[in-house]
Structure 1
C-alpha cells in the first residue's frame, strides 16, 4: 500500500495492548477484517512497563518473605536478594522489550498491524503516521475501537522535568537499584514499587498525601501493608505533600509541606493516571482531546454509534483484567451489530459489561498481599445499601498458620442484610491473591449466604476463612 492509498476494514483498533489485542481477537473470530494500530510495542503497557515486569520483580521478594516464615527454611534465606538475578528475571518476562512474539500472535489471528501513531481524522477514519513519516488512511465499515490506555499523571511542580522523575515505567524498567528512593503516593503502584526496591536494597521513603496507604480499599488493608513496609525498613510518612523537587550536586532533594528535606537518588511519582487521548484527533468528531471517554455498557462512546472506548480510556476500571473483560464484551457487541444480530441487553449477558459496576477484583502484590472485589463497607453505605461488615482474623484459620509462622492477616465480607448476598470482600495476608476469584464469583453471581454454606472449603487451607466468615455472620 502506498502512502496515499486508503484501505478499508470492518474494524480498526487503536492500541495493541492486552485490550486492543482482545478486541481484535474477538472481531477476527467473528470473521470481521481488522486492522490494529500501535505506536510503541505490541503488548502495551502491561507487558513491558506494568503488570508483567512488576510481578516478575515482586515474585522473588514475596517468595523470600514467605520462606522466612517457614520453620526449617527461614535460616536459609536470611541473606540479601541477588538484585542482578531479579532484574534479569524481570527482563526475561518483558522479552527484553521486544515484541516479536506478540506480533506473531496478531499475525496468527489474521489481524493487520500498522506501526505508527494513529489519529482520528473524521468519522470511521484513522490516519496512521508511520516511522518513516508517511501517512496511511484506514477506514472502518463498522467500528473504531480506542484502546490506547492511560499514562502516569505528574503533578505540576516547578522544575519537575529537570530532575527527571521516575514514573511507573522507570520504576519497572530500571537497570540499577538506587541507593535511596522517594516514592510519592500511596496507591497500588506506590506500595508495590516501594516493596520491590526496599527489598532489593534501596532505602525507601514514602511520602503519602492521604491518611494511609491503599485508600480505595478497606482501611485495614493499608494499615497492614504500611506496618510491613515499616518493618522492612521503609520510612512511611502519611499526611505529607511534596512542595518542590530539585537536584543539588547530583542529589535529589524533595521538600515537604512541613519543610522537611528528604534526600534521594531517584524519586517515583505514583500519583494517578491520565487517558492517552490527547493526540487522537478526538476534536475531529466533536470530543474533547485528552478526556476520558464516556461509554455505555457495550463500551460504545456516547453519541457515536461506530466508536468504542475500551479499557483505561473510559475510566471505568483501570485494571488489565477488567480491560480484557471489556474487550471481550466490546468485540461481541461490534460483531453482533455488524452482522445485524440483536444485541442482548440483559444484565450479565454477552454484550453488557455489568461487572464493571459490581464485581471488580484487584490484587496488590505487596507483602502482605491485599485483594478486594466489589464494594468496601464505606462504599456500600454510600450507595444506600443496608449492610453489615463481618471480620475475621486470618491467623485463626488453620491453613494460614501452616502457610506461615506468625501469619498476620484479616478478611472482611460486606453483607447486604436485606438480600443476604455479598456486596464486597477484602482479604489481606500472605497468599490471599489466589483466594479473590472465589470472592469474585460470590459477588458477581450474587450467591445467597444460605447457598455459600454448602460451598465447603478444603481443610487445612487458607480458604477456610470462608467458613469462619459465615460462622461469624451467623453468630453475630
Structure 2
C-alpha cells in the first residue's frame, strides 16, 4: 500500500492543475492515469481540433482581402495540415507531459484507478497487477467525459467516428457524414470540408449551437452551406450499415451514403468503472459537487470531483479553473486554513455559474461569455440586448473586405453591468477575454466608457455597443 496526502484520478488538464496546486500547498500527490498524461484535450480534442481548423481560418482570412486573395492559388495541403496536427499532439506520446509531472514533484501511477472505499484508490496496473493508494486527506476524481453514441441498429458494425477519430484520422475521407449540431459537429464539419471532404451534416433540431444566441447558429449555418456542406435540419438517423461504404437510414425514409460518419451527439461522464458504488454514489452519472469541489452525499470532507466529470461546465479551461481552486481548497483544509467561500472568493468556482467563456472555432468564429438573452430573461432578470454589426467598425473593415459579424451585449438594467456578451465574426476569439473580465468583475457601464479601445481595431466594437446602449 502507498500513502499520499492526495490521490488524483485522471491526468488531463484538470487533474494536472489540481495536483499542482495541492502540491504547491505543501501536500504529497499521486496522479493516476490509464491512458496518456495530458488527457483528452491534448490528444483528441482541443489541440488537434484547433490545429486542423487554424489553416482553414488563415486561408479564409487571406481570401477576404484584395491582394491576398489573388495570391491564393489552391486549396489547403491536407497532408501538411495533418503533419502539423501530429506535431501538436506530440505524435500521441506523453513524454513531455510526464516530464512536467516529474518536475512539479508529482508521482505518476500508470493504470486504471477506481475508488475502493473511503480515501482508497485501487489501481489495475498495465502489467496486470494491483496497487492500492491511500489518501490522508483527499481523493480527487478528474476523469472527464466520453463520447455518447445512440443505440442505433447496425451502429457497432459501422465503426463510427467520435470526436477522437475525427481529430486523429490519418486520411481525409472523400465523403463524411456529421451527425449533430453542436460545437464538435460544426467544428469538424468545417475542418474536414476545408481539407477536401464532401460533407453532409444531419441535425435533429432546428438550429445549430442551440445553447448560444440564435444569430450565432444562423451565421455558422450560412457559412457552412456557402462552403459546400449539405446541411439538413430536422433529420434523424434511424439505422446504419457498412458494406465497403456507410449507408445511413433517415427518419424520412431517405438514405445518406458516405465513407465515414461522425456522431457528435453528446458526452457522458466517465464514471462507469470508477468504484463510485463503494462510497455510496451511483456509477455512470456526474459527481455532484459544491462550489469548493466536495462531492455531495459522501460523508467526510475527502472526495472531490473537478472538470467535466462533475457536469458544472464542460470546457477544458473551466476544468483547469476548477482544478486550481479545488487543489488550493484541499491544501487549505489539510492545513486548517480558513476558506474564502464568498462569491468570487479564492475557495469557490463562482465563474462556473456566472461567467463561462467559450469559443467555437468555425468560420465565422463564435465567442461568448455569460447567459444569453433568453437565459437571462428566463432567470427573471430585467435585461436589455444591445446589438451592433461588427462590420461597421473601422477595424473590422480593415481586417477583411466585406467583414460580416455581429455583437450582442446583455445588460442588467438594475445594476447597469454586463451579464453576457456574444461576438460572431472572423477573428473574434481574441475579443472574448475583455468581455470575460467585464462580466466577471461586474464592471459598471459608466466605467467601461473609460476603457478606450485602440483605433483602428475590431475592439472598437466595445465603444459602439456603449453608444448604442446610451442611444
TM-score by length of 2: 0.99
The 8 Å contact of residues 68 and 78 in structure 1, kept in 2 or not, is answered as no
Separation of aligned partners in 1, 2:6 and 2:101: 14
Corresponding residue for residue 360 of structure 2:
364
Separation of aligned partners in 1, 2:131 and 2:305: 22
Matched, 1:120 2:115: yes
Matched, 1:150 2:145: yes
| Structure 1 moving runs of 4+ over 2 Å | none
Corresponding residue for residue 56 of structure 2:
61
The 8 Å contact of residues 280 and 297 in structure 2, kept in 1 or not, is answered as no
Query: Which of 337, 343, 353 is the aligned partner of 1:341?
Result: 337
Matched, 1:262 2:244: no
Matched, 1:296 2:283: no
Corresponding residue for residue 77 of structure 2:
82
* C-alpha displacement of 1:303: 2.8
CA displacement 1:335-365 (0-9 Å, x = unmatched): 0000000111111111010010000000000
Separation of aligned partners in 1, 2:50 and 2:340: 37
Query: Which of 138, 157, 182 is the aligned partner of 1:162?
Result: 157
Separation of aligned partners in 1, 2:42 and 2:426: 25
SS of alignment partner, residue 122 of structure 1: coil
CA displacement 1:7-66 (0-9 Å, x = unmatched): 100000000000000011101111100000000000000000000000011110000000
Seen in structure 2, the aligned counterparts of structure 1 residues 78 and 222 have a Cα distance that, compared at 3 Å, is farther
Matched, 1:7 2:2: yes
Separation of aligned partners in 1, 2:415 and 2:252: 48
Corresponding residue for residue 351 of structure 1:
347
Corresponding residue for residue 3 of structure 1:
none
Corresponding residue for residue 443 of structure 2:
447
Corresponding residue for residue 70 of structure 1:
65
Matched, 1:229 2:224: yes
Query: Which of 358, 369, 374 is the aligned partner of 1:378?
Result: 374
Query: Which of 377, 392, 398 is the aligned partner of 1:396?
Result: 392
Corresponding residue for residue 313 of structure 1:
309
Structure 1, unpaired ranges of 5+: 1-5
Separation of aligned partners in 1, 2:178 and 2:57: 20
Separation of aligned partners in 1, 2:240 and 2:418: 45
Structure 2, unpaired ranges of 5+: none
CA displacement 1:248-307 (0-9 Å, x = unmatched): x31111111111211100000001000000000000000001110110000110133200
Corresponding residue for residue 286 of structure 1:
280
Separation of aligned partners in 2, 1:474 and 1:399: 22
Number of aligned positions between the proteins: 469
The 8 Å contact of residues 193 and 229 in structure 2, kept in 1 or not, is answered as yes
The 8 Å contact of residues 53 and 91 in structure 1, kept in 2 or not, is answered as yes
Separation of aligned partners in 2, 1:256 and 1:416: 44
Matches for 1:203-242 after TM superposition, within 5 Å = 203-242=198-237
Separation of aligned partners in 2, 1:16 and 1:194: 29
Matches for 1:95-134 after TM superposition, within 5 Å = 95-134=90-129
SS of alignment partner, residue 396 of structure 2: helix
CA displacement 1:206-262 (0-9 Å, x = unmatched): 000111111110000011111111111001111111111112x31111111111211
SS of alignment partner, residue 57 of structure 1: helix
The 8 Å contact of residues 175 and 199 in structure 2, kept in 1 or not, is answered as yes
Separation of aligned partners in 2, 1:48 and 1:435: 26
Separation of aligned partners in 2, 1:72 and 1:173: 35
Matches for 1:410-449 after TM superposition, within 5 Å = 410-449=406-445
Separation of aligned partners in 2, 1:190 and 1:166: 11
CA RMSD of aligned residues (A): 0.6
SS of alignment partner, residue 367 of structure 2: strand
The 8 Å contact of residues 53 and 94 in structure 1, kept in 2 or not, is answered as yes
Separation of aligned partners in 2, 1:364 and 1:209: 20
The 8 Å contact of residues 24 and 111 in structure 1, kept in 2 or not, is answered as yes
Separation of aligned partners in 1, 2:458 and 2:254: 43
* C-alpha displacement of 1:78: 4.1
The 8 Å contact of residues 22 and 29 in structure 2, kept in 1 or not, is answered as yes
SS of alignment partner, residue 370 of structure 1: strand
Matched, 1:202 2:197: yes
